[in-house]
Homo-oligomer: A and B are copies of this chain.
Amino acid sequence: MNHYNPGRHIVSTFRAPASLLTDMEGCRAAFNEIISQQQLTKVGEVYHSFEQGGFTAVVCLTESHVSIHTWPEFGIATFDVFLSNFQQDNTAKAEAFFSAVIACFDGEEINTQKLNR
């Protein structure tokens, strides 16, 4: 059996403007651009908007997944990027993905945890 090399999972809650926390299509465009830039491979996705204006997005990657849940009523989003290191070390890509999302959302981090798992 090969050795399992834990992946980087970044879990963050950040504040963002309501105009961005309700812009699901803007998020979709941003995620697609980051996925392309980082040369990640999408295998499926769910985008779902809620009546109160927030949305949930999960993108499955061959390298694991990215998710965001927005709560414009609280002015926050909870974001995850988890990239496995199975085929190559994707730690830098996870960090770059997170930084790009914070930039896109004009985000102010409330709490960020970086796990190796």
Contacts and interface: CB of A to CB of B under 8 A. Distances in A.
**How many copies of this chain?**
2
A6 B12 CA distance: 12
B56 A64 contact: yes
B56 A58 contact: no
Given A58-B65, A86-B71, A46 B48 contact: no
A76 B46 contact: no
Main SS of the interface on chain A?
Answer: strand
26 contacts: A1-B73, A1-B74, A1-B75, A2-B73, A2-B74, A4-B74, A7-B78, A13-B117, A43-B46, A43-B48, A44-B47, A44-B48, A45-B46, A46-B46, A46-B58, A56-B60, A56-B64, A58-B67, A65-B69, A67-B82, A69-B84, A71-B84, A71-B86, A80-B80, A80-B82, A113-B117
